[in-house]
Amino acid sequence: MDKQSYIYIMANRPNGTLYIGVTSDLIRRNWEHKNGLSDGFTKKYSINLLVYYEVFDDIYNAITREKQLKKWKREWKIQLIEKFNPRWDDLEI
């Protein structure tokens, strides 16, 4: 059985700065973001709220979806988040 993979969107606040990533361990990756262990963009902008994610059975499909979302207009990304998570809650995994 293949390991599940995830694409996820994190934000620093509702309608704030967004980050889209892909991982095979969403719990660990989310913890790393929340504890400032991910140097670079997410640490610089204090991006630590998990506001959206999708689950995939194949890492290649997850990577394809990540690339697709990264090309989207910001407005489309916000609509996607708000359809799934209208209050921009920090999601539990």
pLDDT at 55: 98
pLDDT at 39: 82
pLDDT at 2: 63
pTM for the model stands at 0.94
**Level-2 CATH architecture, domain 5-84:** 3-Layer(aba) Sandwich (3.40)
As given in the structure block, the two tokens for residue 52 are: 């959206």
Helix locations, the chain, DSSP H? 26-34, 41-44, 59-71, 74-84
pLDDT of 3 higher than 70: yes
pLDDT tens digits, residue range 19-59? 999 999 999 999 999 998 878 999 999 999 999 999 999 99
**Residue-range domain boundaries for the chain:** 5-84
